[in-house]
Structure 1
Amino acid sequence: MPLFYMHGMPIGGTAIMLALMASMGGFIFGYDTGQISDILIMEDFKLRFATCSNPVDHNTCEFSTVRSGLIVSLLSIGTLAGALIGAPTADRLGRRYAMTSECVLFCVGVIIQLTTTHVWQQIAVGRLVSGLAVGALSAAVPMYQAETAPTQIRGTLTATYQLFITLGILVAYCIAIGTREISGAGSWRTLIGIGLIWPFILGVGILFMPESPRWLAAHGHPEKAAHSIARAYGVKKSDEQANRFVRAEVDEIVNQLEHEKMIKAGWIDCFKPRNKTLYRTLLGMTLQSFQQLTGANYFFYYGATVFQSVGIQDSFVTQIILGAVNFVCTFGGLYVMERFGRRWPLIIGGIWQSIWLFVFAAAGTAKDPTTNPNIGKLMIVSACLFILGYAMTWAPGVWILIGETFPTRTRAKQGALSTASNWLWNFLIAFFTPFIVSAIDFRYGFVFAACNLTGALIVYFFLYESSDLSLESVDDMYNDPKCKPWTSTKWAPVGYSSRYDLVEQTKAAQARKPLESGAIEEKQIEHAGATGNEKKEQGYGGGMNGTGNGVANGRGGDIGAGTNAYTNGTNDPGLGPDGRPIPV
């Protein structure tokens, strides 16, 4: 039975569970990211793996910049490689089995770390192996969520991946404050070893969830795809009317897959200037790079060390405060990005983050925080306010944009390239931060402040506003010579007087979806089937049940609203191979 209804459409409890279960992949990454900052300052860990002038006094032990940089950053090198192989692995094994195998790989990396006694290189290699799994999961999880979740809540459920990353960071901080009191190697081994729990939950639990209907249809299992969709919607096989709708949705997926065979593109196509493809590839890679250059991971990776250096007696507590701010504010970020679009939150967020990083750096540079408690407190407050802005804008916003900026034929590859650029800068920041801090200390904050301002300028001059648009409309907008990034907030598809008119008509279209009783309007089913079959040779049929997403967006990860079908009683003209309306 459906758990609840959204715009009249049934939503099953399975849809919520599969999103939460898959998001454990984000939790695993967040936990691994959060734990290393505290591990680096644990007494036994320093005695075993740092350089000590007195081998029995942890206060004489210090990590060299190379050693600490490699221990922290090799995870990111692994994620970079994993992100590029994650999508092919998920295509070959299926989304669920790919995630299970990647969880096993992550556990191998954890075991490598746990079995060392005094070899710091083994810790680094273990994090590299775990990073391969984390990177592959970062490709498989959002893909699975987007392809399996009902359209009406796809955006929110996909965004839970970012939310679980922040939760994982916070949980790691909380566990660390407890395990640090354990004597000997138990302090850090317990913290690392608990990391085996999360991949076990994901690796086993995901097998009880439905497989991606898109993957099933692509591998010749339309009946299994229909069963997967029915589970997500919470409808029974005995409900004939509801299952007619499910069958129509399967037909949409099949039609889309046939269309994609005609427009299949290679990696080189991502760098062709036609239709602003190169423009958007570089834009996606730049935005992902600047998400790292905001400086957030400076605090997440080295936060405990940073706050210890400003004279804070218990830097573990400070880390928990930062983690809590990051987690709680991410909920606000989901609302901000849906309510205020993409451009202005990123612009304002970049400016806000720059201001507080400037305060952080100026305070630490003007006076010695170790001898001036008020300066130390100001630096903590400014760091928290920076994280607040980051969690509500750049953290979720960039991931959302990766899903809705690229054209259909190259979307997966452009998304992989963008994600890889994120992991590359993740590694560079993690590795070089110790070197930079040792040279310029807290003036490092000025560098990140400048990067945030640069990111805001890039968004203003190059990013188009894609909220409230279908993917086809986004493609049209980027290729409209009259539309500029700074005027794109007012751009609307042909047939709409304004973006506001688009939103209102979309709401009207959504109101015509299946009734909460589970009954489905006969004309909608007939129109969906006719559209899919009659337009099949021309391209792919337009949207059904009032969504307007069409085959191209029906289950391919579109988080934008549908637009054209059943608006004011008109029929969707359908879309051709180029993604544009077919003249009627």
Structure 2
Amino acid sequence: MALFYMHGVPIGAVAILLALVASMGGFIFGYDTGQISDILLMADFRRRFATCSNPADVDTCQFSVVRAGLIVSLLSIGTLVGALLGAPTADYLGRRYAMVAECGLFIVGVIIQITSTGVWQQFAVGRWVSGLAVGALSAAVPMYQAETAPSRIRGTLTATYQLFITFGILVAYCISIGTRYLPGAGSWRTVVGIGIIWPFVMATGILFMPESPRWLASRGRIDEARDSLARSHGIPTSEEHTSEFLNTRVEDIRSNVEYERQLRAGWVDCFRPQNKILYRTLLGMALQSFQQLTGANYFFYYGATTFKSVGIADSFITQIILGAVNFVCTFGGLYVMQRFGRRNPLIIGGIWQACWLFVFAAAGTAKVPQDHPNIGKLMIVSACLFILGYAMTWAPGVWILVGETFPTRTRAKQSALSAAANWLWNFLLAFFTPFISNAIAYRYGFVFAACNLAGAVVVYFFLYESSDLSLESVDLMYNDPNCKPWNSRRWAPPGYASRYDLVQQTQAAEAHKPLAGPPEERRIEKAGESSVGSSKTATV
């Protein structure tokens, strides 16, 4: 049975569960991201893997910028490769089994790390292997959520991926502060080893979730696609073949798959200008790049080291504060992206983040933080307010857009390319941040502030508003020559007075009722009369 109804559309409990289970992929990434900042400061880890002038005195053990950069950033190199492999894997094995395989690969990477004894290269390679899995999951999870979740709550459910990333970061901080005084290698091996739990939970749980109906339909498994839709919408098995709502959904997906089967898509197709495919590929890659260039991972990767340098007595506590702000504010991000769409939050968020990064950089540059405690406090407050804006806008928003901007036939590959752009910049920032910080110190914040403003400009001039529309309707909007990014919120197919009119009619259709009132007392077309290319049918 349906868990609840939204505008007459049934929403099943399975829809919520599949989003939560799949989002464990984000938790895995967040946990792996959050742990390394604190591990680099742990005494036993430094004694084993850093360069020590006197091994008996851990204070003489320091990481060179190259070694620290490689240990942190090899995860990102793995994610870059994994993201590109994630698309063909998800297409070949199906979304669920691909995620199961990737969870197994992550566990292999963790085992390589915790068996390291004194060779830092082994630990770094373990992070690279885990990164392969994280990258592949970053391509598969948002795609699976967007294709399987009911469109009424697609934005919120897809954004849970980012929510779980922040939760993973916070959990890693909390576990690290609890293990840092354990004797010997237990301090860091416990943190890393616990990472085995999360992929095991995900791999087990995802097997009980329905497969993507669009993937099933592309394999000719229409009955299974119908069953998948029924489960996510909470429609009983006995009503699967009599539900007009379900029949409409299945027919839309089947028609779309049949159309796109005639247009086989390879990697080259992602760069063809027809139907704004190239436009959207470059847009997705740009948005993912700017998400990294916001500067958030500057705090997540090197936050403990950064705040130790500004005179904070216990930088581990500061990391937990930042992680908590990031996690809690992401709940606000779920509401913001569902209520206010995609464009405006990203534009406002970019400006907000730039302002606080400017304060952070200016404060650290004007005075020596170690000599002025109030300056250090101002920098922490600025970082928290930056994280607040990031968690509510750019963090969840970009992952939502990756899931809903691309057409079905190239979605997997375009999602992979976008994720690869994210991981490329992730690597570049992780590796070069120690060098840059040593050279320009806190003026690094000015660079990120400029990048945030540039991201806001890109969104204004190039991103179309895709909230409230089905994946098929988004494709129609991008190909409408009369629609421009800055007026896309008002876009509606020919024959509709406005997007509000479109949404109202679609809601009535999904509730199986005629729409009363203007314009011209139109009645909703029956399921069999709709088609993918129709300019008058757009399922929200």
Please state which band the TM-score falls in when normalised by the shorter chain: over 0.9
2:538 equivalent in structure 1: 548
2:174 equivalent in structure 1: 174
Distance in 2 (CA, whole Å) between partners of 1:55 and 1:145 is 50
Change (3 A) 1:136 1:241: closer
* 1:208 has 2:198 as partner: no
2:227 equivalent in structure 1: 227
| SS of equivalent residue, structure 2 residue 56 | coil
For residues 514-533 of structure 1, the aligned pairs below 5 Å read 527-528=526-527, 530-531=528-529
Does the CA-based 8 Å contact 2:15-2:233 persist in structure 1? yes
Deviation at residue 349 of structure 1 after TM alignment: 1.1
Does the CA-based 8 Å contact 2:35-2:173 persist in structure 1? yes
1:111 equivalent in structure 2: 111
Change (3 A) 1:159 1:438: same
Q: Deviation string for 1:528-560 (max 9, x for gaps)?
A: 2x336xx6xxx66789xxx832xxxxxxxxxxx
1:132 equivalent in structure 2: 132
Change (3 A) 1:409 1:453: same
Deviation at residue 384 of structure 1 after TM alignment: 0.2
2:416 equivalent in structure 1: 416
Q: Deviation string for 1:332-366 (max 9, x for gaps)?
A: 11222222222222121111111111111111111
For residues 8-157 of structure 1, the aligned pairs below 5 Å read 8-157=8-157
Change (3 A) 1:290 1:107: same
Distance in 2 (CA, whole Å) between partners of 1:501 and 1:251 is 23
Would you say how many aligned residue pairs link Structure 1 and Structure 2? 532
Does the CA-based 8 Å contact 1:364-1:379 persist in structure 2? yes
Change (3 A) 1:502 1:255: closer
* 1:162 has 2:197 as partner: no
Change (3 A) 1:471 1:241: closer
Change (3 A) 1:241 1:434: same
1:361 equivalent in structure 2: 361
Distance in 1 (CA, whole Å) between partners of 2:243 and 2:492 is 35
Deviates more, 1:119-128 or 1:81-90: 81-90
Q: Deviation string for 1:48-73 (max 9, x for gaps)?
A: 11111111222111111110101011
Does the CA-based 8 Å contact 1:405-1:474 persist in structure 2? yes
Deviation at residue 440 of structure 1 after TM alignment: 1.0
Of structures 1 and 2, the one scoring higher in RCO (CA 8 A, sep 6+) is 2
Specify the code of the residue in structure 2 equivalent to 1:53: S
Distance in 1 (CA, whole Å) between partners of 2:488 and 2:23 is 32
Specify the code of the residue in structure 2 equivalent to 1:232: S
2:519 equivalent in structure 1: none
Deviation at residue 284 of structure 1 after TM alignment: 1.8
1:558 equivalent in structure 2: none
Does the CA-based 8 Å contact 2:472-2:538 persist in structure 1? no
Deviation at residue 247 of structure 1 after TM alignment: 4.9
Distance in 1 (CA, whole Å) between partners of 2:240 and 2:211 is 22
Specify the code of the residue in structure 2 equivalent to 1:369: P
Change (3 A) 1:414 1:44: same
| SS of equivalent residue, structure 2 residue 118 | coil
| SS of equivalent residue, structure 2 residue 370 | coil
| SS of equivalent residue, structure 1 residue 312 | coil
Pairwise CA RMSD of aligned residues? 2.4
Distance in 2 (CA, whole Å) between partners of 1:201 and 1:325 is 26
Change (3 A) 1:471 1:97: closer
Change (3 A) 1:471 1:21: closer
Does the CA-based 8 Å contact 2:152-2:468 persist in structure 1? no
Deviation at residue 418 of structure 1 after TM alignment: 1.5
Change (3 A) 1:452 1:541: closer
Distance in 2 (CA, whole Å) between partners of 1:242 and 1:347 is 45
* 1:373 has 2:373 as partner: yes
Deviates more, 1:473-482 or 1:432-441: 473-482
Q: Deviation string for 1:489-533 (max 9, x for gaps)?
A: 44443223344444444444444479xxxxxxxx98x932x336x
Deviation at residue 235 of structure 1 after TM alignment: 3.1
For residues 391-406 of structure 1, the aligned pairs below 5 Å read 391-406=391-406
Does the CA-based 8 Å contact 1:76-1:427 persist in structure 2? yes
Deviation at residue 231 of structure 1 after TM alignment: 2.4
Instruction: Give the TM-score of the pair, scaled to structure 2.
Output: 0.92
Distance in 1 (CA, whole Å) between partners of 2:246 and 2:501 is 30
Change (3 A) 1:242 1:371: farther
| SS of equivalent residue, structure 2 residue 496 | coil
Change (3 A) 1:357 1:18: same
Distance in 1 (CA, whole Å) between partners of 2:440 and 2:260 is 51
Instruction: Give the TM-score of the pair, scaled to structure 1.
Output: 0.85
| SS of equivalent residue, structure 2 residue 3 | strand
Distance in 2 (CA, whole Å) between partners of 1:460 and 1:378 is 31
Q: Which runs of 5+ in 1 are unaligned?
A: 515-522, 550-561, 563-584
Specify the code of the residue in structure 2 equivalent to 1:393: T
What is the percent sequence identity of the aligned residues? 75
Deviation at residue 152 of structure 1 after TM alignment: 2.7
2:389 equivalent in structure 1: 389
Q: Which runs of 5+ in 2 are unaligned?
A: 515-522
Deviation at residue 439 of structure 1 after TM alignment: 1.0
Distance in 2 (CA, whole Å) between partners of 1:498 and 1:527 is 21
2:351 equivalent in structure 1: 351
Deviation at residue 298 of structure 1 after TM alignment: 0.3
Q: Deviation string for 1:149-180 (max 9, x for gaps)?
A: 23332222222111111111111111111011
Deviation at residue 280 of structure 1 after TM alignment: 2.5
Distance in 1 (CA, whole Å) between partners of 2:162 and 2:68 is 26
Does the CA-based 8 Å contact 2:139-2:415 persist in structure 1? no
Deviates more, 1:131-140 or 1:237-246: 237-246
Distance in 2 (CA, whole Å) between partners of 1:508 and 1:219 is 31
Does the CA-based 8 Å contact 2:95-2:140 persist in structure 1? yes
Q: Deviation string for 1:37-94 (max 9, x for gaps)?
A: 1101111111111111111222111111110101011111111111111121122222
Distance in 1 (CA, whole Å) between partners of 2:353 and 2:209 is 39
